Amino acid sequence: MRFVPHAADGAPRSLRTWFVVHAKGVVARRAEAGEPALRFPDDDEITQLGLQAGDAHRLGALDDTDALAIPLDGPVPSPFEVFGFRELAALVDAELFGVVGRAFHTCDWLTTHRFCGRCGARTEPLRSERCLVCPACALHIYPRISPAIITLVRKGDLALLASNAKFPGAFYSTLAGFADIGESLEETLAREVEEEVGVKVTNIRYFGSQPWPFPNSLMIAFTAEWASGEIVVDGAEISDAKWFSADALPMIPPRLSIARRLIDAWVAEVSDR
Ligand SMILES: [Zn+2]
């Protein structure tokens, strides 16, 4: 599978792959024998779902098809189902997961900017680039991308992993949080770690990044080292946090997440010694 992203212009292809985005996930049906794990709706099925092809946004080329994203507000009729991103991560490969993510992010942007935030007129897509424009006051509205840090904090060979208060005990992961206005990412990291678990950190190092479009984040991953403080969880976002050793890990996040890559890289490093 090969995906080539591009903006809304360029010659349309005759074959299309539809990514229909519902509030809870992407609409697809489970495959029959011999097919890939999921089958996305075809042109006829788009009509049956009550959708208008003209409301779609072109994401790019997926193999020899146009990849199109379109939001769906209404019910999802059988045999179609809605697949959330955690379920998707177990069913599709990294490349397709990335394309579905683009569809999620695009539809979040389209559905939250139907009207101009400045004057209230209905917005229209600009054909030359990925942008909505207000025909009344000319406001240009680009997709919102929300930067968030994610970090694995180490203390010697141990790593700090925390359980989210929304999913207590489900799994333990690295700490994360959104950048605030006026912050550098290093400042965001230090603030979030101290707010969530009461620990100060040092030696912040860039690790990598990953779009996390549920609905519109870009995760920027770092490693950091413990500097001072005992773990005191905030009780609001974090229900529990502990120092773990690599040979006694709790349940950790699924593959395809940068949290998992951070944890796997640490485990590989300490296991090599
Ligand atoms: Zn306007």
Q: For the segment 38-63, what is each residue's pLDDT rounded down to a tens digit?
A: 899 999 899 989 999 888 999 999 98
If you measure from the C-alpha of residue 112 to the centroid of ligand 1, how many angstroms do you get, rounded to a whole number? 14
CB 49 within 8 A of CB 27: yes
What secondary structure, in 3-state letters, does 214-240 show?
A: CCCEEEEEEEEEEEECCCCCCCCCEEE
Using 50, 70 and 90 to split pLDDT, how confident is the model at 6? confident
Task: Average the pLDDT over 112-136 and give the result.
Answer: 94
Q: How far apart are CA 21 and CA 43, in angstroms?
A: 15
Ligand 1 centroid – CA 53 distance (Å): 25
CA of 57 to the centre of ligand 1 (A): 21
pLDDT band for position 169 (50/70/90)? low
The dihedral built from the CA positions of residue 261, 267, 272 and 273, taken in this order, carries a sign that is: positive
Distance, CA 142 to ligand 1 centroid (Å)?
14
The answer regarding whether domain 146-271 maps to CATH 3.40.1440.60 reads: no
Is pLDDT at 102 greater than 80 in this prediction? yes
Mean pLDDT, residues 121-143 = 94
CA of 122 to the centre of ligand 1 (A): 8
Distance between Cα 123 and ligand 1 center (Å): 8
What percentage of the chain reaches a pLDDT higher than 90?
Answer: 66
Between vectors from CA 74 to CA 15 and to CA 21, what angle results, nearest 5°? 45
37 C-alpha to center of ligand 1: Å? 43
Q: 9 falls in which pLDDT band (50, 70, 90)?
A: low
Ligand 1 centroid to 119 CA: how many Å?
A: 4
Query: In angstroms, rounded to a whole number, what is the distance separating the alpha carbons of residues 84 and 233?
Result: 29
CA of 129 to the centre of ligand 1 (A): 18
Give yes or no for residue 270 having a pLDDT over 80. Answer: yes
| Position 71 confidence tier, pLDDT thresholds 50, 70, 90 | very high
In CATH terms, 3-112 corresponds, of 2.60.40, 3.90.79, 1.10.3470, 3.40.390, to 3.90.79
Cα of 214 to ligand 1 centre, how many Å? Answer: 27
The pLDDT mean for the chain works out to 92
Nearest to 143 by CA among 3, 8, 2, 9: 8
C-alpha of residue 183 to centroid of ligand 1, in Å:
29
From-to residues of CATH 3.90.79.10 in the chain? 146-271
Whole-number pLDDT of residue 54: 85
pLDDT tens-digit map of 10-19? 677 888 999 9
From the CA of 139, how far away is ligand 1's center (Å)? 6
Distances (CA, A) of 268 to 151, 154, 264: 17, 14, 6
Instruction: Determine the distance separating the centroid of ligand 1 and the alpha carbon of 70, expressed in angstroms.
Output: 23
**Residues whose CB is less than 8 angstroms from the CB of residue 8 and which lie 6 or more positions away in sequence, other chains included:** 57, 58, 125, 126, 127, 128, 129, 130
Task: Find the 60 Cα to ligand 1 centroid distance in Å.
Answer: 28
The answer to whether the CB of 69 falls within 8 A of the CB of 231 is: no
By the 8 A CB rule, do 149 and 220 touch? yes
| Span from the CA of 140 to the centroid of ligand 1 (angstroms) | 9
Whole-structure pTM value? 0.86
Q: Which amino acid, 218? A: L
Per-residue pLDDT for 69 more than 90?
yes
Residue 132 C-alpha to ligand 1 middle, in angstroms?
11
Alpha-carbon distances, residue 89 vs 72, 94, 101, 223, 257 (angstroms):
21, 8, 11, 24, 9
